[in-house]
Amino acid sequence: MENDNIIELRNVFMKFRMASQRVETLKEFVIRTLKRQLSFEDFVAVNDVSFDVKRGEVVGLIGLNGSGKSTTLKIISGILKPSSGSVVIRGKISPLIELGAGFDFDLTARENVFLNGAVLGYSKKEMLEKMDEIIEFSELHDFMDTPIKNFSSGMVARLAFAIATQIDPEILIVDEILGVGDFLFQQKCEQRINKMMSGGTTVVIVSHSIEQIERLCDRVVWLDHGKVVMIGDTHEVCAQYRNMENR
């Protein structure tokens, strides 16, 4: 039976060790063990989160700072392994967690397309086929052979977005990145995401812009202090979320 859920999170917990008590060297480890000072305190970033995303759905994650949105995204994209609970992903993911992941700033834009493609698991040949579209979308025609350390942050963002969206992933993960570039490029990004959505791509978005979430998403998950407050239809959840903000 073909399962309709492309992403399944079941009772996911994510615990971090407090940074102040971290032991980084063997020397320190031995000393602290001898002094019996080796105790740890855990911080729970994601607390018993479960939800499903269906194939082709666009799901938004909202919540205040520190509510565990980004951690959840990282768990979905496989960067973090949850401390407990299960995560099932049935498709190829293109994460846009932070722009320029896997870019080497000493290499040219063209070389970075191959590097970034390889980071996402695509061969040089596959990237070569998509090169024209990437250049077209990022509008970097004249700069493809320039080292990207000379790029403005907007140009880097354009290149990164172009690569992440042109490789036709089954799942696109977007974290707060639609705020970069000028408004024309932002519109273009939104159009692109809309096009991908109609083409059947599943999208998970994190954004602080409620308007953007309302425009793009089918369903919304509201997180607070690592716990799910509400899951449901975009307008309902967003309305509730706004109420809380106004209080």
Partner 1 sequence: MKKKIFVTVILLFFIASLAFSIYYPSRDNFSNIKNGLENKKYSIDELEFPGWYGEDGDYASMEDAQIIIKDVGTYVSSIKLSGNYTGKNTHMQIFYTTEQGEPFTPEKSKIVSWYSTGSRIYIDADIEAYSLRIDLTEQRDDELSISNIELNDRTAVFSINSIAKWCVLPTILVGIILFVALYFRGIKPYLDKFKQYMPLVTNLVSRDLKVKYRRSVLGFLWSILNPLLMALVIHTVFSRLFRFDIQYFATYYLVGSLIFNFVVECTSNALGSVISAAALIKKVYIPKYIFPFQKCVFALVNMLFGCVAVIVVMLIQGVPFHATMLLFFVPMCYAFVFAYGFGLILAAATVFFRDIQHLYSVFTAVWMYLTPIIYPEEMLLSNGLGIIMKLNPMYYYTHYLRSVVMYGTLPSLEENIMCIVFALVMLIAGNIVFKKTQDKFILHI
Q: Does 98 bind partner 1 (CB under 8 A)?
A: yes
Q: Does 86 bind partner 1 (CB under 8 A)?
A: no
Least distance CB 28 / partner 1 (angstroms): 8
Nearest to 132 by CA among 189, 181, 140, 200: 140
Please report, as residue ranges, which positions from 13 to 72 form the binding site for partner 1 (by CB under 8 A): 16-17, 22-27, 29
Q: Does 104 bind partner 1 (CB under 8 A)?
A: yes
1 versus 26: smaller Cβ distance to partner 1: 26
Window of 5-13, 104-112, 187-195, 212-220 that interacts with partner 1 by CB under 8 A: 104-112
159 versus 220: smaller Cβ distance to partner 1: 159
* Chain residues in the site for partner 1 (CB under 8 A): 16-17, 22-27, 29, 77-81, 93, 95, 97-98, 101-102, 104, 106-107, 114-115, 117-124
